[in-house]
């Protein structure tokens, strides 16, 4: 009853009430990891990301250290609160348990970018290039890498299209006389136009109250 009321309050944007209800819920049923997870998420929303809700997420993880979804939420909470080194550790734990976790891989790469560890971020994304969404992030980041020539950027995007777009109308042609970083966005638009349909990838089902 309390959990349902908390979800309804969160759905209506009343996160203060959701937090109050979930605090009462975990007092009554402290062994329910989902209640602790949702409490952490609600605290994050109520505080606009400034409170990482350590106690709530850590209580959930003590109940089930292997729950990657909860650990990923905790990593996001730490990232949102500006605790990037701690977020890096939690995202890495997720990948240690499941290297195929694309959401954690992209989250870790984003944290590494914020820590100005670009080479490590590049390597993190490259290791998960078999996942369409992760590969797409890698290509998007490359668009702003001035060290890449237009030809190299074109080849990277073409490789992504061949691997992840179900049907390609025709093999992309080289960019020819296109040059200069200023034309990179236009170059990507031109490459994208050679495909018939956008990529679609499976997504994890969201938790009832989930961090963004």
Within this chain, do residues 57 and 134 fall inside the same structural domain, yes or no? yes
Return the pLDDT at 105.
Answer: 96
Within this chain, do residues 131 and 164 fall inside the same structural domain, yes or no? no
Checking if the pLDDT of 34 tops 90, the result is yes
Mean pLDDT of 26-45: 95
Mean pLDDT of 11-22: 93
Checking if the pLDDT of 46 tops 60, the result is yes
**Top mean-pLDDT range of 9-18, 154-163, 170-179:** 9-18
Mean pLDDT of 119-140: 89
Within this chain, do residues 77 and 142 fall inside the same structural domain, yes or no? yes
Within this chain, do residues 11 and 105 fall inside the same structural domain, yes or no? yes
Closest residue by Cα to residue 19 from 6, 2, 29: 6
Within this chain, do residues 18 and 119 fall inside the same structural domain, yes or no? yes
Within this chain, do residues 52 and 140 fall inside the same structural domain, yes or no? yes
Return the pLDDT at 211.
Answer: 57
Gap between the terminal Cα atoms of the chain:
25
Flag whether 207 is in a domain: no
Contact 138, 129 (CB under 8 A): yes
Q: How sure is the predictor about 209, in pLDDT bands with cuts at 50, 70 and 90? A: low
Within this chain, do residues 49 and 131 fall inside the same structural domain, yes or no? yes
Residue at a domain's end among 131, 147, 163: 147
Contact 84, 115 (CB under 8 A): yes
| Token pair 């701690």 in the structure block, residue | 86
Flag whether 210 is in a domain: no
Flag whether 212 is in a domain: no
Closest residue by Cα to residue 144 from 114, 188, 97, 198: 188
Flag whether 206 is in a domain: no
Mean pLDDT of 141-159: 87
Within this chain, do residues 58 and 142 fall inside the same structural domain, yes or no? yes
Mean pLDDT of 94-102: 96
Within this chain, do residues 25 and 10 fall inside the same structural domain, yes or no? yes
Q: How sure is the predictor about 114, in pLDDT bands with cuts at 50, 70 and 90? A: very high
Closest residue by Cα to residue 45 from 194, 212, 181: 212
Flag whether 100 is in a domain: yes
Within this chain, do residues 155 and 65 fall inside the same structural domain, yes or no? no
**Please, what is the Cα angle at 77 between 102 and 80, to 5 degrees?**
95
Closest residue by Cα to residue 92 from 64, 123, 116, 62: 123
Q: Which residue has the higher pLDDT, 172 or 162?
A: 162
Within this chain, do residues 114 and 156 fall inside the same structural domain, yes or no? no
Q: Which residue has the higher pLDDT, 196 or 107?
A: 107
Q: How far apart are CA 182 and CA 9, in angstroms?
A: 47
Mean pLDDT of 38-50: 94
Domain that holds residue 195: 148-201
Residue at a domain's end among 121, 147, 173: 147
Mean pLDDT, all residues of the chain: 82
195: helix, strand or coil: strand
Return the pLDDT at 162.
Answer: 85
Q: Which residue has the higher pLDDT, 170 or 99?
A: 99
Contact 101, 94 (CB under 8 A): yes
Contact 66, 74 (CB under 8 A): no
CATH number for 7: 1.25.40.10
Flag whether 208 is in a domain: no
Query: 188 is written with which tokens?
Result: 């990507």
Of the listed ranges 105-119, 120-134, 135-149, 188-202, the least confidently predicted one is 188-202
Mean pLDDT of 187-204: 38
Mean pLDDT of 115-129: 92
Within this chain, do residues 159 and 172 fall inside the same structural domain, yes or no? yes
Number of domains the chain is built from: 2
116 phi-psi bin (left φ>0, alpha ψ -120 to 50, beta other): left
Mean pLDDT of 160-168: 73
């Amino acid at each position: 009853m309390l959990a349902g009321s908390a979800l309804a309050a969160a759905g209506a944007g009343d996160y203060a009430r959701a937090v109050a209800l979930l605090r009462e819920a975990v007092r009554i049923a402290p062994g329910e990891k989902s209640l602790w997870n949702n409490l952490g998420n609600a605290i994050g929303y109520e505080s606009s990301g400034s409170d990482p809700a350590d106690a709530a997420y850590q209580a959930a993880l003590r109940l089930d250290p292997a729950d990657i979804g909860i650990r990923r939420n905790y990593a996001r909470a730490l990232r949102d609160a500006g605790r990037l080194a701690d977020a890096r550790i939690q995202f890495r734990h997720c990948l240690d348990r499941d290297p195929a976790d694309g959401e954690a891989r992209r989250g870790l790469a984003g944290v590494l970018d914020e820590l100005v560890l670009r080479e490590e971020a590049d390597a993190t994304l490259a290791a998960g290039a078999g996942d369409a969404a992760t590969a797409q992030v890698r290509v998007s980041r490359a668009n702003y890498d001035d060290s890449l020539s237009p030809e190299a950027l074109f080849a990277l995007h073409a490789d992504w299209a061949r691997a992840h777009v179900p049907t390609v109308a025709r093999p992309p042609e080289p960019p020819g006389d296109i040059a200069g970083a200023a034309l990179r966005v236009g170059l990507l638009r031109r490459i994208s136009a050679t495909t018939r349909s956008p990529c679609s990838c499976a997504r994890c089902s969201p938790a009832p109250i989930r961090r963004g």
